[in-house]
Amino acid sequence: GKAQELEIAVSMKVPERQPLTYSLNLSPKGLSYEINQETLTQRGATSTSEPFKYIESSGLNIKYFSQEDRKLLRPNWEHNPLETSLSQVPKMYREPENLRKSLASCTYYGALDVSEKSLIRLPQAIRPAKLPGANGENLVSCLYYLRETDQDSFELIEDIISSAFPDFKRLNFPPVATGTLSMTWTDSNFPQPIYLHELSEGTLRFLWLITLLQSQGLTTITLIDEPEVSLHPELLRHLVYLMREAAKRTQLIVATHSDRLIRFLEPHEVLVCDIEEGEATMTWADTLDLDKWLEDYSLDEIWAMNVMGGRP
């Protein structure tokens, strides 16, 4: 049946101190939800000492640690019960603040609009941009900024494009009007540079994704939904390489239904999700004893045969 509650727990290491632990318990309430319990604690110096409490909330009984009063207090402001206390309490000590900023630093990238008049196809105002934008609205600025400030990353992007498109030569950024740039793609098969609005859907989406994965401004958590959409299967090999590199700088979570993408991954990189009787389960593929299967089949073939789960 329907799950009666959802509990989330996050632990963050703290240099030379015990880790912080944040816990949140939710349950359904009508068409919405309610927060049953929320805590932010830090273990004591010994296993027998009580954990230090920054937030201790149960239902509407909200308490937070006040630096000024040096004790747990109830809020003296209007507390929104539909939002976490972590997002509402005043500034805390450095470590809890770092945790709060990390949890708030999350970006989601879904389907990219590449229609005729989409933002990604239009000339873009020049601005400092460390990310290409969820709709590609800063793609040109981001690539231009990379070229000017991080030549190695920009050259890697051009190298990846060259590997995927052997006739590619370079990217350029011609001005269109005052303070506005476009982008051109030079290809040895064409006498004139190809402008951004002339590129195919798959090429545009690939360019956007590899720029995102090489960006300097990746947030603590980066979510990408179905990156394989519109891409030629062989482009996914290059994408997976950049995903592995990006995962060194962000917690990268990619959702996919594509066996084509799974083909280029290792079992320890795949988290298989299933829903049974309203309950979600998640299992790392490298815990499924696939060694014998992998002697005769590739990972995508094993998934297609429903050996791993994660299928309708």
Does residue 2 surpass a pLDDT of 70? no
**Does 76 share its domain with 173?**
no
Block residue for tokens 């329907």: 2
3-state helix, strand, coil in the chain (%, to 5): 30, 30, 40
CA–CA distance, 236 with 20 (Å, rounded to integer): 37
In a domain, 207, yes or no: yes
CA–CA distance, 170 with 184 (Å, rounded to integer): 8
- The predicted pLDDT at position 84 comes to 92
Percent of the chain topping pLDDT 90:
70
Domain that holds residue 42: 6-96
Residue-wise pLDDT for 113-147, tens only, equals 999 899 999 989 988 899 999 999 999 999 999 99
**Does 140 share its domain with 166?**
yes
- The predicted pLDDT at position 218 comes to 94
Residue-wise pLDDT for 166-215, tens only, equals 999 999 999 988 889 999 999 999 999 999 999 999 999 999 999 999 99
Work out the mean pLDDT of the chain and round it to a whole number: 92
User: What does the CA dihedral 87, 88, 93, 98 come to, rounded to 10 degrees?
Assistant: 20
Structural domain total, the chain = 2
Could you tell me the two tokens for 302?
A: 């094993």
In a domain, 132, yes or no: yes
**Does 91 share its domain with 186?**
no
Which of 51-60, 92-101, 158-167 has the largest mean confidence? 158-167
Mean pLDDT across 18-43: 91
In a domain, 147, yes or no: yes
Does residue 278 surpass a pLDDT of 80? no
User: What does the CA dihedral 231, 218, 285, 202 come to, rounded to 10 degrees?
Assistant: 0
97 C-beta neighbours (distance < 10 Å), count: 11
Does residue 30 surpass a pLDDT of 90? no
